[in-house]
Each structure stands twice: as structure tokens, then as C-alpha cells.
Chains A and B, each alone.
Chain A
Amino acid sequence: MYDASYNKAVTLAIGSATVLFVVTLLLVLAIVYLRISLGLRQQHTKIHIMRWQPRLAMAILSLPKEAPKLTRDDSITFLALWNHAQESFRGDVKEQLNELARLAGADRVALAFLKSRRTRKRLMGITALGHLREHSAWDELVDVAHSDNAALSLSAMRALLHINALAALPVLIPLLQSRDDWPAPRVANILHEAGPEIVSTPLAGAALRAPPDEAPRLIRYLENAYLAQVSGTLGHLLRNAEDDRVISACLQVLPDPLYLDDVREFTKHSRWHVRLHAARALGRLGTHDDIPRLTELLGDEQWWVRYRSAQALAGMPGMTRERLEQIREEQTDAFARDILTHVMAERSA
């Protein structure tokens, strides 16, 4: 009744369905296995936490004298707990935790983790090596800092700064310039940790030498520097830069009224983001003389320039609500009046 090819197709369909059912069943079994092994892992983790948490707590209170050696099973749990504790405390406690880690053999474990193929283990190992200030891992950490993986490279850079901040700077500065895949908030974090006394001068030097494409990123990192130390660099860049992105970046961090005249000039710049940052800088550094300049900016074509100028104006030294109302009444431009009304309402809220 049905031809041979038809029967073959039906057989093939039944065969395929059977194979798929078997694969599906195997997957269900895999899920059950995962569920059981997860349960066991969680039980083991609990046991490891109970084993190490009291010792970590003791190490936070006083320098440990002895500790059991880490085993293959509890090393991940220990390093997770230990890294967490390291990042939660400051001062002598960190040294006490380091002593506990060395007594337990965590330094060797961290070095082994650094060579692991699993990213999770490598990240744990790198972080631990940084806290332990493990000099023997220096070369390998430098290699990882140059790797393509942004999370690994940034963690390695942080570890290098922990180990020896001064020696790490020649590695850090070129990478800061070239790595646009490093998240800015995290870079700011590690610069803050390294300390402004260390990063200020080299960072300022790099900002001066950087091409216009890379300079704005470095300039914004200068927020983490000793602003007094980098003020001259910022002023120099502000006066000589031709690229509007560099000018904007300088205006955002400029700490010194010494360059106020330059800032004032930029309120007339053709690019609106430069005018906006000039208005903000005037709000930070300006004097009573800048009130007419900011008032003029209230009528700018860009909402953000008007808004920031109104905020700067309202924050001028000696500015009162009555004076602001008077300025508002003097405006012939409805946009200028509206934005001032808006900012006055915000301030009185």
C-alpha cells in the first residue's frame, strides 16, 4: 500500500524520536545527578565553612600561631572566605589574615589556582596572591595583566599594585592608556586603593603625552590623584589642547582657580559639552564676577548647559533666593526664566 521510501521515512522518524527520547532521558538523569551533587557540595561547603570561619574570626582578633593545612576539598571555600575577609578589613587585620593563609598553605594553593584553566579559580588565586603580596608570582601576574580577558587582566593589575605599587606603575600606566575594555569604575577603584601619592605624578605625565583619543580617559582618572599635584598638568592641557574631548575632560577635574580665565573663555566654545563643563567648573571655582557670564548661559540653546549654568549660578558664594528671583525677572528669554524657576524649585525642595 505504501512504497519502500515511505516506509523508510517512517522508520527514520520513529528511530529519530527514540534517539531523542533517550537523549532527553539522559539529560533528565544529568539534572538529577547535578541536583544530588549540588546538595553534596553544599553540605561539604557548610562543613568547610564551619571548619574555617572560627579560625578566620580568631585571626581577625589576633595573630594566629597555627592552622591546619588546606586540603584539595576545602581550598576553594577557604580562599572565597579569606578573600572576602581581606576585602572587608583594613590595617593589621590584613597581616594577621595573611599569616593564617601562609600557615594553612593558601599561598601555594593560590599559585596553583593562578595556573588553573578555570577563570573562577584564576580570579580567586590572583586576588589572593595580591592580598598575600606574593612576589614570586610577579612575572606571571604581569603576563596575566596583558591578557585579552579584561576581568583577569584588571584583577592581575590590582594584585600587582597590592604587591608593590611603585614597581607596578610602569606596567599600569601603558595599560591604562591602551585598555579601553577596563571598566572605568573598577579602574578608579584600584587607583584609589593604590593611593593618590603614588599614582598622581605618573598619571599626569601619561595624560600629557597621550594622543587626543586616549587622553580624556587618563584625565578623568586624575580625579583619583592629588589634585594639587596634577593641577599644573591640567592647566597646561587646558591651555594647549585642541581636541574638545580633552578640554571637557580637563574642565571636569580642574581643581585650581589659577586657570579661571581659561575656563571663562570656554563658556563661549562652539561645542555644547565644553560650555556645559565650563559652566560646572565656574560653579566650582568661580567668583562673584562670573554671575553675568553664567546668567548669559541661561539662554543657551542646549538644555543641559542652561540647567548646569542655573545650578552653578544658584550655588555662587553669597547668592540668595531674592537675588536669583531678581535675575529671573530680568530675563527676557522664556527658556532662561524656566530653567531658573526649575533649579530654584529643586533647591527649595
Chain B
Amino acid sequence: MTAQSIFAGFSEWFFLIYFIGLNGGYLVLNLLSLLTISRYLQGSELEKLPQAQSGLEPPVSLLVPAYNESAGISQSIHSLLQLDYPEFEIIAINDGSKDETLQTLIRDFGLVPFPEAYRERLKTKRVQTIYHSREYPNLRVIDKENGGKADALNVGINAARYPIFCSVDADSILQRDSLRRVVRPFSDNVDTVACGGTVRIANGCEVRDGFLSRIALPNHPLALIQIVEYLRAFLFGRMGWSPLNALLIISGAFGLFRKEAVIEAGGYRTDTVGEDMELVVRLHRTRRAAGKPCIISFVPDPICWTEAPQDLRTLKNQRVRWQRGLCESLSLNMDLLFARNSGAAGWLAFPFMLVFEWIGPAVEAIGYGLILVAYLFDFISGSAMLAFLLLAISLGLLLSVSALLLEELSFHMYSRPSDLLRLVAALIVENLGYRQLNTAWRLMGLWRWILRSKGHWGEMKRKGLSGKQA
């Protein structure tokens, strides 16, 4: 037996096992999501009754970090002020913006300096001035030296008055009842330390006064494809891990955390680009190691809408940053892997992420490359190459269609018959080129993580949503 044939045999088996593991894992997550969503929807029947809201829900501090957001910050804060929730405060943190973000806020909300007895429980860059609004008693704005999103959030945590805080991106569009829905796991179980919800793509939707007034699909193909991608990521990527209490990601766009648990864990790390995921993984690691309860929940309701990039360059930057963030989050919390008491988070989700999400792009790229090389050197026939590609694509299609099925069984937000056709078309295109392109970007992210290049605020070129002001 030659070294060449041993290598060929090994790589054949390696890729086969990898392929089965990856897709089998996703199919199991899919089934788990199906069960969980159906149970969730049945149990939420009571929520529709008028008496279901007691007014005794825990008060929440909304933290809105902002860097060069002068164009949209006022509208965001105005819509947050209209959230349907008994008690909440908004803390906007201006992270040393170079534009007029602070001046806009001062002008639009009647801000005046406030002599706050600020506690620095988490070490941060210097806080310059704290303002409060004369018009809205539950609004404060903190002006601080530039230190990045994580540092801004840490300042917000230091200033937060309530036991639960919610990190919200300044450009997120929320539902009026978003907080009510996502706070439920905290009311239901005192051991809940964090909770996230489904983020949807707002491109194509109509926004009125900062809230979504009409849900529709975008015309831009790149945004349409990302809708299918988000459905897959949230409806079974996250929903599947949630019943196992093994959720490792809560989107930075909208996530609720128990303040004391986060302070105990050391707050957001300022030296990573994926501070949202890193915090969740660290909460699992530190609390489980200390034998403390750690329930991290997920509600499938679409509670936060965000604008997806519509040009390849911005999308590439976003995906490269996400992959880097994932690599950092996992590598910084390696102790969670197979740790005693780490539960499904350490024994299932972490290894799954490690093998299929962290090094996944490299394995996928090598796999595609090897098939191509094997074909070029006549190790495999053209029909064999097509057969394997067909198999990979058909599995991808199956996963995307099952995400669409979950959406249809649960929230069916896109109600027009033509929407269904467009989504099916989008999921075909997604599997014929887009996913491969995404793999290449994720590979770049992996490479940048290896090089440890410096991260920064994720700036995004936005087209803007069709909006109406009252």
C-alpha cells in the first residue's frame, strides 16, 4: 500500500465522517427545534389573554452603545422610549463618536449634565459626562472616551440601575412588545442569566416611527438570500441548542442579561470582535465551573429586525468579523470543552462549534479543493465529482427548506403566495454559490484570527429602510 493510497483513503474517510457529522448534527438540531417551537407556541396561548401581563415584570436597563450614529440615533431612542413595558430605563453610550451623535442627542432630548455617583464596577475608558433628559426621566446618555462597543456596554452596565440589562444596537428595529417577550424566561426561572431572541432582516419592510409597519421581502437578491440564511441560523441553529441549555450565541443586536452574573464574569471583553458570543460562552464556562446555575434561554419570536448588507464588500467584512469573533470566543474559553459540570454546552455545543463552525470553513475549502484536484489528476471521474457536489448541495437544500418549514409552522411572517416562491428561489441560489462564497469569507476570518489583526467597531454601509415619520 503506497503512502498516496493511505492518504487518499484517510482523506476519503475523514471527509465522509465530517460530512455526515455536520449534516447529521444540523438535522438533529432541526428536529429539536421543531419540537421546541411547537411546545413554545402551544404554551404561549395564555400570553394572548389580557390578564397575562401582571405589570410585575422585572425592570430592565436598555443599553444602546453608539459610535458615529448621528443620522439615526434619535429615531432609535424615540422608538425605544415607546416600548410596551412597565418599567425600563434607556442608557445611550456615546463611545467618543467623531460625528454629531452627542450633540444630536443633547438637542433632541433636552439633555443636561447630571451629577451621577457613577460606580466603576467594571474597568472602562474614562467617562466624561453623564446627561439625563429633562423630557424623558428614564433616559440617560453617557459620553465617554472611545474604547469600542464592548467598553461602551461595560460603562452602560456600571450605570445600569436595574437587575436585568438589554444590549441593543442603535440601528435595531424592535417590536413594541419585544421586551415583554424576551423577559419571560427571567420571570419564569430565577436561574436564567441570559436570553436572546430571533433577529430578522428588515430590508424590504416598511418602518414607521421606528417600528415595523409592514413586513415584506426585499427585492435585492443578496438581502433575500440572507433571509433564508437567518431563518436557518435562528430557527434551528439557536432554537435547537436552547432546550439542551447549550446556547453559545446571543445576538449583540438584542440580548438580555442578568447584570450581577455578567459583572461577576468580568463584563464584556474589550479585546475581541465577537464580544456578544464571547460573553455567553464565558458565562457558561465560569458559572458552570463554580457550580452556579446558568440557564441561557432563547425565545423564537421575531423580536428584533436589522438591516442586512446589500453589497458584497460590506457583507464580506461582516462575515469575516463574525468568523473571527467565533474563533476568539471559543479559543478564549477552551476550558469549557469537556469540562466537568459543563453539561451539553461543554460536551455537545462547544465541540460542535469547534469542529464544524471554527475549522469548518477550512475543512470545507480543502474538501472542495481536493475533489477538484482529484478530478484534474484523474483520481475521480467527472461524474463522481458532480455526484459528490450534488450530494453536498442537496443536503444544503434540505436544511434550508426545513428552516422554511419551521417558519411556516410557527410565525409565517411572509404571507403572500409570491413570497413563498421567492424564498424557495432564494434558498436554491443560496446553495449554488452563496454558501461557497461565504465559506471563502469565513476562511478569511479564520486566517485573520490566526494573524491576530486588530478589530474595530463594525461599520456597515447602509442603504436605509423605507421609512415614514408621523
Q: What are the 5 tightest A-B residue pairs by CB atom distance, in nearest-first order?
A: A185-B56, A20-B394, A119-B42, A338-B117, A185-B54
B395 within 8 Å of A (CB atoms): yes
Chain A nearest CB, measured from B399 CB (Å): 9
Min CB–CB distance B395 → chain A (angstroms): 6
Indicate if B453 sits at the interface (CB-CB under 8 A): no
Give the Cβ gap from A91 to chain B, nearest Cβ, in Å: 15
Candidates B43, B115, B391, B405; contact of A13 at CB < 8 Å:
B391
Say yes or no: B395 contacts A20, CB within 8 Å: yes
Cross-chain contact A10 with B383 (CB below 8 angstroms): yes
Some 9 contacts from A to B, beta carbons below 8 A apart, are A10-B383, A14-B387, A27-B398, A34-B409, A35-B412, A35-B420, A119-B42, A186-B52, A188-B54
Chain B contacts of A27 at CB under 8 A? 398, 401-402, 404-405
Inter-subunit contact A35/B417 (CB<8 Å): yes
B420 with A342: CB separation less than 8 A: no
Chain B, Cβ-Cβ closest to A344: B115
Chain B CB count within 10 A is highest, among A80, A184, A185, A189, for A185
Q: CA–CA, A6 to B49, complex, Å?
A: 62
Q: Are B188 and A150 in contact (CB under 8 A)?
A: yes
Whether the pair A21, B394 counts as a contact (CB closer than 8 A) is yes
Classify the secondary structure of A's interface with B: helix
Q: A31-B420, A188-B54 are in contact. Are A349 and B137 (CB under 8 A)?
A: yes
Which residues of A pack against B, CB within 8 Å? Answer: 1-2, 6, 9-10, 13-14, 16-17, 20-21, 23-24, 27-28, 30-32, 34-35, 38, 80, 83-84, 87-88, 118-120, 123-124, 127, 150-151, 155, 180-181, 183-186, 188-189, 193, 303, 306-307, 335, 338-339, 341-342, 345, 349
How distant is the Cα of A151 from the Cα of B185 in the complex, in angstroms? Answer: 13
Within 8 Å CB of B390, what residues of A?
Answer: 13-14, 17
Asked if A342 and B117 sit within 8 Å, CB to CB, the answer is yes
Q: Are A186 and B54 in contact, CB atoms less than 8 angstroms apart?
A: yes
Contact B117 A335 (CB under 8 A): yes
> 1/0 contact trace for B350-393 toward A, CB 8 Å?
00000000000000000000000000000011011001101101
Which residues from chain A contact B393 at a C-beta distance below 8 Å? Answer: 17
Complex Cα distance A342/B113, Å?
Answer: 11
CB of B401 within 8 A of CB of A24, answer: yes
CA of A339 to CA of B424, assembled, Å: 59
B48 at the interface (CB under 8 A from A): yes
Check A24 against B397 for contact (C-beta < 8 Å).
Answer: yes
Distance, CA A64 to CA B9, complexed state (A): 80
Q: A6, A17, A30, A307: which has the most chain B beta carbons within 10 Å?
A: A17
A181 to B46 alpha-carbon distance, docked (Å)? 16
When chains A and B are docked, how far (Å) is the Cα of A186 from the Cα of B51?
Answer: 9
Nearest Cβ on chain B to A209's Cβ, whole angstroms: 23
CA distance A339 to B57 in the complex (A): 27
Contact of A155 among B39, B46, B187 (CB under 8 A): B46
Query: A84–B49 contact, CB under 8 A?
Result: yes
A-B contact count (CB 8 A): 134
Please tell me if the beta carbons of A123 and B45 are within 8 angstroms of each other in the complex: yes
Chain B contributes a number of interface residues (CB within 8 A of A) equal to: 51
A13 with B384: CB separation less than 8 A:
yes
- Across the interface, do B46 and A151 meet the contact criterion of CB distance under 8 Å? yes
**What chain A residues lie within 8 Å of B457 (beta carbons)?**
none
Complex: how many Å from CA A61 to CA B41?
A: 33
Instruction: Report the separation of the CA atoms of residues A339 and B393 in the bound assembly, to the nearest whole angstrom.
Output: 63
- Chain A residue at minimal CB-CB distance from B392: A17
| B189 close to A (CB within 8 Å) | yes
Contacts of A186 in B (CB 8 A): 52, 54, 187
Give Cα A180–Cα B188 distance, bound, in whole angstroms. Answer: 9
* Among A17, A23, A32, A120, contact of B42 (Cβ-Cβ < 8 Å): A120
Q: Which chain A residues lie closer than 8 Å to B456 at the CB level? A: none
Inter-chain contact A10/B381, CB cutoff 8 Å? yes
Which of A24, A119, A306, A307 makes the CB contact (< 8 A) with B394? A24
Tell whether A189 pairs with B119 under 8 Å between CB atoms, given A10-B383, A27-B398, A155-B46. Answer: no
B114 adjacent to chain A (CB < 8 Å)? yes
Chain A nearest Cβ from B15, distance in angstroms: 12
Other 18 A-B pairs with CB < 8 A, given A13-B388, A183-B188, A345-B115: A10-B384, A13-B390, A27-B405, A31-B404, A38-B412, A83-B49, A87-B49, A118-B42, A123-B42, A123-B46, A183-B184, A185-B54, A307-B117, A338-B115, A339-B117, A342-B117, A345-B116, A349-B114
Are A10 and B42 closer than 8 Å at their CB atoms? no
B291 at interface (Cβ–Cβ under 8 A)?
no
Residues of A within 8 A of B388 (CB): 13
- Chain A nearest CB, measured from B422 CB (Å): 13
Q: Please name all residues of chain A whose beta carbon is closer than 8 Å to the beta carbon of B190 when the two chains form the complex.
A: 180
List residues of chain A with CB within 8 A of the CB of B56.
184-185, 188-189
Bound-complex Cα distance A181 to B42 (A): 18
A31 touches B401 (CB 8 A): yes
Check if B134 is an interface residue, CB within 8 A of chain A.
yes
* Option from A17, A88, A341 in Cβ contact (under 8 Å) with B117: A341
> How many angstroms from the CA of A27 to the CA of B56 in the assembled complex?
43
| Neighbour of A24 across the interface among B184, B381, B398, B417, CB < 8 A | B398
**Given A6-B384, A119-B42: A185 in contact with B187 (beta carbons within 8 A):** yes
Task: Report the bound CA distance from A119 to B38 in whole Å.
Answer: 10
B99 within 8 A of A: no
The residues of B that contact A339 with a CB separation of less than 8 Å are 117
B142 to chain A, nearest CB (A): 14
Known contacts A34-B409, A151-B43, A349-B132; is A13 also within 8 Å of B188 by CB?
no
B408 within 8 A of A: yes
Do A127 and B49 contact each other (CB < 8 Å), given the known contacts A119-B42, A119-B43? yes
Chain A residues positioned under 8 Å from B134 (CB to CB): 349
Q: How far is the CA of A341 from the CA of B398 in the complex (A)?
A: 62
Most chain-B Cβ atoms within 10 A of its Cβ — which of A180, A186, A188? A186
Which residue of A is nearest B185, CB measured? A183
Asked if A20 meets B397 with Cβ closer than 8 Å, knowing A84-B48, A183-B187, the reply is: yes
Q: A28-B424, A184-B187, A342-B115 are in contact. Are A87 and B42 (CB under 8 A)?
A: no
Q: Once the chains are docked, how many angstroms separate the CA of A193 from the CA of B50?
A: 14
Contacts of A184 in B (CB 8 A): 56, 187
- Docked Cα-Cα span, A84 to B51, in Å, equals 9
- CB-CB under 8 A from B41, the residues of chain A are 120
In residues 442-470 of chain B, which contact A (Cβ within 8 Å)?
none
Closest to B49 in A: A87
Chain B residues within an 8 Å CB radius of A335:
117
| Whole-angstrom CA separation of A16 from B19 in the bound complex | 13
Chain A residue with Cβ nearest B43: A151
Shortest distance between the CB of A289 and any CB in chain B (Å): 26
**Closest residue to B184 on the A side, CB-wise?**
A183
Give chain B interface residues in 154-186, CB to chain A under 8 Å. 184
Q: Which of B16-62 contact A (CB under 8 A)?
A: 39, 41-43, 45-46, 48-52, 54-57
Q: Which residue of A lies closest to B132 (CB)?
A: A349
Contact residues in A for B49 (Cβ distance below 8 Å):
83-84, 87, 127
